[in-house]
A and B are shown apart, each in its own frame.
Chain A
Amino acid sequence: MATVINDTQHVQVEAALDDRWLMGADAFESLTGWTLKPEGMCRADVCAPIYRKAAVLPEPGMIDLVEAAPVIGLSAVVDVARGVAALGASAASRGDSMTTLQAPSFTLPDMHGKPVSLHDFDRRKVLLLAWSSW
């Protein structure tokens, strides 16, 4: 098993790691919500065509995570030697969602480990104060 860190959690996934990070279509789907179909990567009624088939699908039924991420608006960084990958928004999709001015939802642990969401404060004004010990 390998670990993928996405925007909300750490997920254990089945992956074949050599010089690339390859995942079966099922594992890729449960990780990303996108299904590999003949017309491309599909979610609900949206399909994104795969233009670089040889890179995205280097082996039958296997998806290269780094190459496939941009097809679905994501970026991936992988460390195959250590079995850890990080999957997040691409710069373009992050930029697009920022300009909608819709406050992105998040759920983070408080000091007692209890998950707290922005949505817990719906209908209130929120002053989001980012700080750190550094």
Chain B
Amino acid sequence: MQEELAPYGMTIIAVAIDSDLEAVQEWAAHAPGLTILIDRDFTVAEQYGIVNVPATVWIDEDGRIVRPADTAMGDDRFRAFAHVDSSVHHAQLRRWVIDGERLLDDAAVADLMEQPSPELQLARLHRRIAVELDDRGDVEGAREHLATAAELAPYDWVIRRGSMPMNDIDPFGDKFFEFVGEWMQAGSPGYRLATGREFPGDQVGTAPE
């Protein structure tokens, strides 16, 4: 997409919401030429209300958000699970970049921004402390803060799943599916795709089964 749309004035900034430098470097090696940044403290996730990855945000030439954080796959590897068709997103992206067409007006974008609860904000701060302590080799201290973060924001994917590697838990393993189960039982909170709020023209909107 970068190669195709760059001549029309678009840049992809790929932000790794990830505290594990080595893991990021491994993945980044598969995408040479892409601008890849590392957000170890998850600050960008917080600023843009990103509740899960992968997600995209569209920012126009005036620095305005014209499409808020939305699960959007680069390809169809996770299609069966996430019910997201990457070709729909790609087609919409072309219409925006090449034809200047917007799917949502400002009011609709503002309405779809995932505003944080006070508990989620505190959970994010506990997570920042955990990253610092983990860097110092204080694994015990890091896990204490991750546990507090999980209590404060039990259904936030970035907090829960994003903390699994630091807790030595496989983010693709049993514990992850346990979390998905808990989250679905709670009514799939804080997640646009699962709450049926979809964009015009999107063929998405059903929760993973």
Interface residues of B in 3-18 (CB under 8 A from A): 8-18
Contacts of B25 in A (CB 8 A): 111
Residue B184 is within 8 A (CB to CB) of chain A in the complex: no
Contacts of A110 in B (CB 8 A): 35-38
Tell whether, in the assembled complex, residue B9 and residue A77 are in contact, meaning their CB atoms are under 8 Å apart: no
Given contact pairs A88-B46, A111-B36, A129 touches B13 in the complex (Cβ within 8 A)? yes
Tell whether, in the assembled complex, residue A88 and residue B55 are in contact, meaning their CB atoms are under 8 Å apart: no
B14, B37, B66: most-surrounded residue (chain A CB, <10 A): B37
Contacts of A128 in B (CB 8 A): 13, 15, 44, 48, 56-59
Which A residues form the contact surface with B (CB < 8 A)?
3, 5, 7-8, 10, 75-77, 79, 82, 84-91, 94-95, 98-99, 101-104, 106, 108-111, 116, 118, 121-134
Tally B residues with Cβ within 8 Å of A.
Answer: 78
Contacts of A5 in B (CB 8 A): 41, 128-129, 132
Tell whether, in the assembled complex, residue A86 and residue B118 are in contact, meaning their CB atoms are under 8 Å apart: no
18 contacts across the A-B interface (CB closer than 8 A): A5-B41, A79-B141, A90-B121, A91-B118, A103-B48, A118-B13, A124-B10, A126-B12, A126-B58, A127-B1, A127-B58, A128-B13, A129-B14, A130-B15, A131-B14, A131-B54, A134-B20, A134-B165
Q: Which A residue's beta carbon lies closest to that of B54?
A: A131
Given contact pairs A101-B106, A111-B28, A127-B93, A132 touches B57 in the complex (Cβ within 8 A)? no
Q: How far is the CA of A133 from the CA of B172 in the complex (A)?
A: 10
- Measured CB to CB, the closest approach of chain B to A10, in angstroms, equals 7
Residue B194 is within 8 A (CB to CB) of chain A in the complex: no
Of all A-B residue pairs in the complex, the 5 with the closest CB atoms, nearest first, are A133-B23, A86-B125, A95-B115, A77-B125, A104-B47
